[in-house]
Amino acid sequence: MKKTWRYPVILLCSIGISSVGEWIYFIALNLIVLNLTQSALAVSSLYTVRAISFLLTNFWAGSLIDRFNKKYLMILLNIFQAVLIVTLPFFSSLLWIYSLVFLITAASAIYQPASTIYITKLIPTAQRKRFNALRSLLDSGAFLTGPAIAGLLFMLGTPYVAIYLNAAALFLSACITVKMPNIEVHEQFVRHTTKKLFYQLWLDDWKMVIRFSFNNPYIMLICLLFSMMIVFMTATDSLEAAFATQVLALSEGKYGVLVSVAGVGVLFGSIVNSAIVERVSTAWLIGMGSILTALGYVIFTASLTFTIAALGCFLLAFATAFANTGFYTFYQNNIPPQSMGRIGSIYSFFEAIFSIILTVLFGIIAEWITIRLVVVSASWIMLMVAVILLCCNIQPAKRHFYQNPF
């Protein structure tokens, strides 16, 4: 048992270090830009730059990922990000900072699907659900400890210290990855594709993803429904602060407590998820996790008091770990690893587009009508999507999608 979990544990350490470092880096970057410009718009533009970078990168990244050795690609991307982050403090021009953030985010957008493929190939099928639960626990821990460490570093020094710490974390993550096995050592990648131009390969890849989607309608349906959940969550979260302060009339202090309650919910949910994950089927993890998440949003958006809002925030954060663990396991078990980069990147591209469109649309409608009507309507639509997702998950005829992976 110890031997079979050796590399998964090492990989989890690498993921944990990167996650904590990423939180420290972005919080520090927000402060650096704010100190340089004294402009809230300049800070919010960082999020826009990141969103555009993810969008433009996912458009083609899968074609690159599936044609290169994942281990070496992950090492290269970690080092590339570390070098760029180290150079950030040397620039005071917003244009240069945004450009570096764009490149760092692009590298991160490539790293995520590459690491997912590596994990899928490295982790035996029987261990994937447990691994994903532990990964969710690490991510929730990073969500809480990252900002706390950043705050401590700001007290002891400057935001630049936090920036350098994240670069060191990425470099350490690369060193850890070097010690991981090369699971694709016997696979050939670039040699078979050099006769075609990249745009031709890219068009072929999009056609392949379209064929896969139509040949596997059930897999596409589950991915589509879960993506709809993510899109509505993203758009609703964009109005969270305005809803809490303007509709619920909460002070900034109470809103901070609300965010902390959500953080505790994420951590507690991840702990419970890790404890029971082996005893709950993947189908129920996805379905019930999504329904409880949507119910949390319904309670939060329909609340009239701080207590009810806190209960909703805790529930939605608590249930997210179950839904994510279930979906990641389903995804790893049903998407062929040799084309997972292209399929995942293109699916993520459309998810990002609809997230941006719906977020803008929600903001406009909230200005025209009321914030409460927008978020309440969105939460009920989310709940309906979650119910449909659960019904699709637990169909006896579809049981093999949760038991017989590639």
CA-CA distance, 310 to 307, in Å (whole number)?
A: 5
Radius of gyration of the chain (CA): 21
Contact 116, 73 (CB under 8 A): no
CA-CA distance, 152 to 127, in Å (whole number)?
A: 36
Predicted TM-score (pTM) of this structure? 0.84
User: Residue 40: is its pLDDT beyond 80?
Assistant: no
CA-CA distance, 53 to 57, in Å (whole number)?
A: 6
What confidence category does residue 93 fall into, taking pLDDT thresholds of 50, 70 and 90?
Answer: confident
What confidence category does residue 141 fall into, taking pLDDT thresholds of 50, 70 and 90?
Answer: low
Q: How far is CA 311 from CA 18, 289, 378, in A?
A: 31, 16, 18
Domain chopping of the chain, boundaries: 6-195, 203-393
pLDDT digits (tens, 9 = 90+) for 308-317: 989 998 999 8
Residue 79: predicted pLDDT: 93
Higher pLDDT, 26 or 278: 278
Intrachain domains 6-195 and 203-393 with the same fold: yes
What confidence category does residue 196 fall into, taking pLDDT thresholds of 50, 70 and 90?
Answer: low
Residue 202: predicted pLDDT: 79
Residue 290: predicted pLDDT: 94
Q: CA neighbours within 13 Å on the CB side: how many for 119?
A: 28
Contact 307, 75 (CB under 8 A): no
Residue 14: predicted pLDDT: 78
Residue 399: predicted pLDDT: 87
What confidence category does residue 124 fall into, taking pLDDT thresholds of 50, 70 and 90?
Answer: confident
CA-CA distance, 330 to 312, in Å (whole number)?
A: 27
Mean pLDDT of the chain: 84
Which architecture, in CATH terms, is 203-393?
Up-down Bundle (1.20)
User: Residue 1: is its pLDDT beyond 50?
Assistant: no
Residue 343: predicted pLDDT: 92
Which architecture, in CATH terms, is 6-195?
Up-down Bundle (1.20)
Residue 406: predicted pLDDT: 44
pLDDT digits (tens, 9 = 90+) for 159-186: 788 788 888 888 988 898 888 888 876 6
User: How many other C-beta atoms are found inside a 10 Å radius of the C-beta of residue 249?
Assistant: 9
Higher pLDDT, 191 or 238: 238
Contact 161, 27 (CB under 8 A): no
Higher pLDDT, 287 or 197: 287
User: Residue 143: is its pLDDT beyond 70?
Assistant: no
Choose the weakest-confidence range: 119-133, 188-202, 216-230: 188-202
- Tokens coding 235: 């758009």
